[in-house]
Structure 1
Amino acid sequence: MRIGLLTDGGYPYATGESRLWCDRLVRGLPQHEFDLFALSRSADQEQRGWVRLPDRIGRVRTAPLWAPHEEDTRHPGRTRRPQGRIATGLGRAYGRRDRRRFTAHVTALVESVCAGPEAGPGPGEPDRAADLFTAGLYGLAELAQERGGLHTALRSEATVRIVESACRAPGTGRTVHSATVPDYLAFAAGLERALRPLSLDWYDDDALGAVDLCHAASGGAAALPGLLAKRFFGVPLLVTEHGVPLRAHYLAVPETPLSAPVRALLANFHGLLASEVYRQAALVTPGNTHVRRWQERFGADRDKLRTVYPGMEAERFAAVGEGEDGGGPGTLVWIGRIEPAKDLIALLHAFAEVRRDEPGARLRIFGAPVQGGEGETYLARCRALVAQLFPEEGTDAQAAGDHPVTFEEIGGAEVPDLAQAYAAGGVVVLSSVVEGFPISLVEAMFCGRATVSTDVGAVVEVVGGTGLVVPPRNPRALADACLALLRDPERRARLGAAARARALELFTVEQNLAAFRGIYLDLVGQAPARWTAPPDARHPAGRPRPFATPPEAHVLGDLIREPAVPGAARVPSWAVGAEGVCAGARGAGDGDA
């Protein structure tokens, strides 16, 4: 079958999120073809290029979400031309009827956003905000496909006036009601960016109309084209979320220069969009229970939810397995990106407590700061704290590697790869205050290492009973757990063996591929028949697509076999003998099964 893989700031870009997962999915399901529809987030992301795509990728369509009509940062003075066409009409030739349609749809959408979560329905009452949102969203989508893109119209004075009127309407929250003219302008610009996928040229019979299933690699903007593919062509939508884009949006919003009213409006918009995505998806596959709880909070039907853990390559850690501690039983190891969310400050304070009780203990920190000034500043702060907590060691010991706390990068002669970094100690520590699916924790489990982790994100779900979990931001609890394992080698070995067994059972690439192999067949096999154009004399309504039949069958030629005798009953072609079925053949508009 043909799968439309939808990404936002991810695959195929070299710096994208979920890049490895998408690549493994495409390479691991060779019986299917994939068309890739990718949204990019920045000019820098596009400049860094793509990963090498496998042969199973057919067409690739890309489009930017990073202001395609603004100045190109790589070539000052130029306007960046997007890789995917985004129509930008509705500016000059905008008739009276279309102006009324546009005004009605934007008004409905903005009123739903301004109402916010306080306007939720009571028991047994219809959800007016959701109804207004969907009416406005799909109305704008249809208008964009009929008359061109929405860029000019959504940034027009008319839109700003609609936003102003909705913000000042009775019943809006205090924060939204306090918005001023600059806030109206900022929200209109943000709304145009969020709705930019509506104006793409992806919605025709040669693009999303030609796929059998849309698989969005995340919610939010990535799933928006999937909503329209279902609306326009009846294509079923599958949504996979290993993190929660809505949660990430909430966490990032306070750091933006936007005012409180604009932040509230954008948060309301993304919440309503997430709810609509969950309602329309045929199935939602959260990567863990932590993500699943967020999805249920925003209206996802439990019957549509199926947890599928992200697959990871266990082979690269097989050499370590349950081997001995390469750095000694008294060594703690931390691996990850150096940033405030990882809370290395708490870890360093905890290790100072460990060092008082176990003078021979060591802490090896493997990682590099995140890109940007924040990571470097945080690393400098951590180094300063080390000097403060262990003044007797001095900088010479740090440079020589004899210091009890070392900051190291993977790839040198002593630690050539990631597996060796995990093998460098007896206990692996995770000290985060914010975490989604803890990849480093799973890698440590593949290596048979006992772990001490903070109770954030999906940590408890991943660890099960194979490691120690303590509250975040609690250095004393973290130190006590580390000391308990450092002083008990038998318990450490027992937990490490159990952790490796759990990881091999739940978190491998093979289990992930097996899950999606079955999901694809189930969803497409249950989808209603879709009819292809153009009709002809033999098929006035057009020819049906083959996956209205059982997914195991592959149809050669027309789905409906013409009767040899006028008036005779028609027989589906999949019901005839083997000579009528060719497992590797391709009918018109079909994908591989």
Structure 2
Amino acid sequence: MRIGLITEGGYPFASGEARLWCDRLVRGLDRHEFDIYALSRSRSQDEEGWVRLPEQVTQVRTAPLWTPVEQTPEPGRRARRRFAELYAELAAALCAPEAPLSSEESGTGQADRFSNALYGLAELARAEGSLARALLSERAVRALERACRAPGAPRAVQLARVPDLLAVAAHIERVLRPLSLDWYGDTGLGSADLCHATGGGSVALPGLLARHLSGVPLLVTEYGVQLRAHYLGAGDASQSPPAVRALLAAFHGRLAAEVYARAALITPGNSHARRWQERCGADRAKLRLVYPGMDASRFGEEPEDAACADEQTLVWVGRVDPAKDLVGLLHAFAAVRRERPGTRLRVIGAPAEGEEAAAYLAQCRVLAAQLFPDEAAGRHEVGVNPVSFEEIGSPAVPDLAAAYLAGSVVVLSSVVEGFPISLVESMFCGRATVSTDVGAVVEVIGGTGLVVPPRNPRALAGACLSLLGDAARRERLGAAARARALELFTVDQNVEAFRGIYLEIVSHCPVRRDDVDEDGEPLPFAVPAEAHLPGRWTTGTGGRTSGRWLTGHTGRPSWADREGRESRENGEGASRLGAGAGAGAGAAYGGAGVAGGETTQRQVGPVGSVHGSGVEMGASERHGTGAGVSSVAGDSMEWRLSGSTSSVSPSSSVDPSHSVGPSSAAGAPDSADSADSLGSAGAPSPASPSASTSPSASTGPSAATGPSASTGPSGPSGPDELSCPAGEFAVPVAVGEAGR
């Protein structure tokens, strides 16, 4: 199938979030085609370029979110009026009072207002082009101001000032910038079988529009809930005023609820994220838990024996950030040092990014110097601090595996955590762990490590001391941790889970609009299986490219077509006739069944072979001359020709040389080449040189002029009468080896 993979700030760029697991997913599902739609967050990310893409990636489209708004022509008056109405509806949904949990109707009404405004803006963007200038215009700011001043609005938004409204309008413009992209046509997301968004909120917005405009099902994967990240980022009151936080929280909450409501399935990365999604409005029936997949081969097939590591060393590995609570870890280590003076702590992390991370790292270094003065073994030796700060890639720590194997116990002291990747990596290395009870830590550990409350240095120190003094326990916990990680957190289980989810979604999606007839009914064989294989019936080029039917082919079997079914039903009588004639006449007559609509020929044989038998044939059967045999019974034959009926009896005086059609010995010419061909009405064609209007004229090219044939009991012969000599009759047979 064809997957539209939507990312923001990650894959296929060389840096960013969700880069590794997206690359592993695309490479693991090599039988699917992937179109990548990436939103970049910074100039440096665009300049760094992409990672090497596999063959199954057919196209990549990128769009920057960091560039300034382009100067585009102002839309017309009608478009401006329509935009003002839609944006006012959007602002009113954001400033509506919070409905109580028991009032579902009010919450549903506000969600409908938000979704109607969102999709209305999307359709306006398709018709008029970019909406970036309009989203930052004075009309947008005034619409926000009117909504904030409306009766019943929350008190926090009523205090919004003009700078606050400008900040909110700028943030909304950045989030809604995908509305103006050209990704939703038949060559973009509209042609995909499935849209897979690698996050919720703004990342899933292109998938929402593809579902709304083209009916493409949407899959949302969240390893970190976007709404939760927004709440955590807006928690510092010094960063933004209360009115801005309230408006943006309402906007992201409405957007998350819309994404969860429209998604076909949602795949959280852990139970902690799943609880957040349910609280934000996700339907529990749509949730499928899929753990992140990690490459276990980087940490070796067999873990290093814990006894080989320094038993008196604690290791912390991760990204330096205030949420990791390194300050609390240092205070806990001070308590450990009082019990075991020879213990060391190695803080190993990636280089600090940003001013905040650099300042926090400097603060931790100062605190370590104050808590643990340099110690020297002798009077003439240089003192060494028991706490060391190192970076991955240095000579002492060349890679991640070396970092986790540097000590006997791995410590995680975070106060905020989503999915603890560093904890899983330490489990792959077979190390015992001590961690705080935050995020999905308990779910990941599963009883293979010690867990303590966050912000509790005394409890953290006690757990570390219990493992440092018991080598056998460390070994048991490390082996169990590695077995659990190999079972739940590998790339293979992640890829197989998404393979099944893709098939589940596509199997429940409705029939695409190209596969229905003019009445809207699905065509059962619009794209048959043979169309995907190269061969004489297709013009495929092989490989993953689907074949196409040859010119003139309907693309489905004739029996699946309406006309084919009618022809088959009308041809049942001819099949019965051919079978009966073949059984009665034997090999001398070469009788065979005739399918409806096929070209037939007539063969002459003695009547005595079928004397006393009756064979019915429908009037709608077509033969080479357009005539149909009605019955052969007793010693007479009755022919139906152009609605008139005549009969010929054996007692009729007919020249023996007269025959109906060419004899069997003369071969089997096509009916169009026979001299006895009839016109479309069933009468002898006037253009045929051998056609005679004389009642005694025969219809075969070998007919000789003879006495006039006397008529039977049915009355005098007319121009529609077909003469047949006594002892001969016509049997329709199929063109083929049997007829010849």
Matched, 1:226 2:213: no
Question: Cα gap change, 1:103/1:491 in structure 2, threshold over 3 Å: closer, same or farther?
Answer: same
Match of 1:408 among 385, 390, 393: 390
Equivalences for residues 269-280 of structure 1 within 5 A? 269-280=251-262
The residue identity in structure 2 corresponding to 1:215 is: H
Separation in 1, partners of 2:212, 2:227:
23
2:166 maps to 185
**Do 1:331 and 1:425's aligned partners in 2 also have CA atoms closer than 8 Å?**
yes
Matched, 1:2 2:2: yes
Structure 1's unaligned 5+ residue stretches are 71-87, 571-593
Matched, 1:353 2:335: yes
The residue identity in structure 1 corresponding to 2:564 is: A
Measured on the aligned residues, the alpha-carbon RMSD in Å equals 2.9
Task: Summarize deviations over 1:60-110 as a string: whole Å, max 9, x none.
Answer: 11111113327xxxxxxxxxxxxxxxxx75x533133x3332222111111
Whose radius of gyration is greater, 1 or 2? 2
Task: Summarize deviations over 1:109-135 as a string: whole Å, max 9, x none.
Answer: 111111254476615656221011001
SS at match of 1:243: coil
1:463 maps to 445
1:330 maps to 312
Match of 1:197 among 175, 178, 190: 178
2:563 maps to 567
SS at match of 2:31: coil
Structure 2's unaligned 5+ residue stretches are 534-545, 567-740
Question: Cα gap change, 1:332/1:325 in structure 2, threshold over 3 Å: closer, same or farther?
Answer: farther
**C-alpha deviation, 1:477, in angstroms:** 0.5
Match of 2:198 among 217, 220, 223: 217
2:474 maps to 492
Match of 2:430 among 435, 443, 448: 448
Separation in 1, partners of 2:159, 2:332:
45
User: Greater CA deviation, 491-500 or 252-261?
Assistant: 252-261
1:85 maps to none
Separation in 2, partners of 1:94, 1:272:
30
SS at match of 1:528: coil
1:239 maps to 220
1:161 maps to 142
**C-alpha deviation, 1:233, in angstroms:** 0.7
Separation in 2, partners of 1:383, 1:26:
42
**Do 1:121 and 1:128's aligned partners in 2 also have CA atoms closer than 8 Å?**
no
SS at match of 1:441: helix
Separation in 1, partners of 2:383, 2:512:
66
Equivalences for residues 523-562 of structure 1 within 5 A? 523-532=505-514, 557=548, 561-562=556-557
Separation in 2, partners of 1:545, 1:69:
48
**Do 2:374 and 2:386's aligned partners in 1 also have CA atoms closer than 8 Å?**
no
Equivalences for residues 76-225 of structure 1 within 5 A? 92-96=74-78, 98-115=79-96, 117-118=98-99, 122-123=103-104, 127-225=108-206
**Do 1:253 and 1:263's aligned partners in 2 also have CA atoms closer than 8 Å?**
yes
User: Greater CA deviation, 182-191 or 116-125?
Assistant: 116-125
Separation in 2, partners of 1:417, 1:425:
14
The residue identity in structure 1 corresponding to 2:174 is: R
**Which one has more relative contact order, counting CA pairs under 8 Å at least 6 apart?**
1
Matched, 1:67 2:67: yes
The residue identity in structure 1 corresponding to 2:63 is: A
**C-alpha deviation, 1:396, in angstroms:** 12
Question: Cα gap change, 1:356/1:544 in structure 2, threshold over 3 Å: closer, same or farther?
Answer: farther
Separation in 1, partners of 2:377, 2:45:
38
Question: Cα gap change, 1:375/1:400 in structure 2, threshold over 3 Å: closer, same or farther?
Answer: farther
Q: TM-score, length-normalised on structure 1?
A: 0.86
**Structure with the higher fraction of residues in helix conformation:** 1
1:44 maps to 44
Separation in 2, partners of 1:289, 1:427:
26
Separation in 2, partners of 1:396, 1:223:
62
Task: Summarize deviations over 1:265-321 as a string: whole Å, max 9, x none.
Answer: 111101110111011000000000111111001110000001100000111112551
**Do 1:532 and 1:545's aligned partners in 2 also have CA atoms closer than 8 Å?**
no
User: Greater CA deviation, 326-335 or 435-444?
Assistant: 326-335
Question: Cα gap change, 1:478/1:160 in structure 2, threshold over 3 Å: closer, same or farther?
Answer: same
2:635 maps to none
Separation in 2, partners of 1:305, 1:233:
24
1:26 maps to 26
SS at match of 1:258: coil
Equivalences for residues 414-425 of structure 1 within 5 A? 414-425=396-407
The residue identity in structure 1 corresponding to 2:367 is: L
1:260 maps to 242
The residue identity in structure 1 corresponding to 2:563 is: G
Corresponding pairs, count: 546
**Do 2:306 and 2:431's aligned partners in 1 also have CA atoms closer than 8 Å?**
no
SS at match of 1:5: strand
**C-alpha deviation, 1:523, in angstroms:** 0.9
Question: Cα gap change, 1:139/1:121 in structure 2, threshold over 3 Å: closer, same or farther?
Answer: farther
**C-alpha deviation, 1:158, in angstroms:** 1.4
**Do 1:529 and 1:544's aligned partners in 2 also have CA atoms closer than 8 Å?**
no
Separation in 1, partners of 2:525, 2:347:
55
Separation in 1, partners of 2:383, 2:407:
15
Question: Cα gap change, 1:395/1:107 in structure 2, threshold over 3 Å: closer, same or farther?
Answer: farther
**Do 1:532 and 1:542's aligned partners in 2 also have CA atoms closer than 8 Å?**
no
**C-alpha deviation, 1:531, in angstroms:** 2.0
